[in-house]
Amino acid sequence: MPETIVQPANISLPRRLIIIFYDSVLLFAVLFFASIPVAVPFNITYESPWYFAYVFYIYVIGFIYFGWFWTHGGQTLAMKTWKAKLVSSSGQITWRQALLRYLVALISWLCLGLGFIWSLFRKDNATWHDIASGTQLVRLDASKQKQSNR
């Protein structure tokens, strides 16, 4: 059954944070397995000369994880679970938009979540990374589609 968009950019901050938590659990598993072939054989620690390259590698894996889902349907597994979708006014999300969204979201976290708190003061609930990338996290509602098919 196809899902319909009810209210663009109407994802509340608590719902966003739940989606982030779910995605973090999944991403942790991905990063764990992606780390094994790099960190274990090369014994990478904080003192290692390759530590910063390893950290960069981890961020790239994180981007590939989110970027692939965002550019291929606009939904991570957590977004599907919580009936949310990433959309763009220009149609499908591009890799450029995904990269911009990912980088600005990281900056938002580095600023102690200020980019997320920003959404509390906007009618459309847009965060810094929504604004910078020209994307919106929208809520999907399957029940409306059910009623219209009767």
CA distance 118 to 137: 14
pTM of the prediction?
0.86
Structural domain containing residue 57? 4-148
Within the chain, which residues score under 70 in pLDDT? 1-9, 142-150
pLDDT at 27: 98
pLDDT at 141: 79
Sequence-separated contacts (24+) of 59-65 with Cβ below 8 Å? 59/106, 61/30, 61/31, 61/34, 62/27, 62/31, 62/102, 63/98, 63/99, 63/102, 65/27, 65/30
What's the domain count of the chain?
Answer: 1
pLDDT at 138: 94
CA distance 80 to 78: 5
- In the sheet where 84-88 sits, what is the strand order? 4-5, 135-141, 84-88
pLDDT at 89: 86
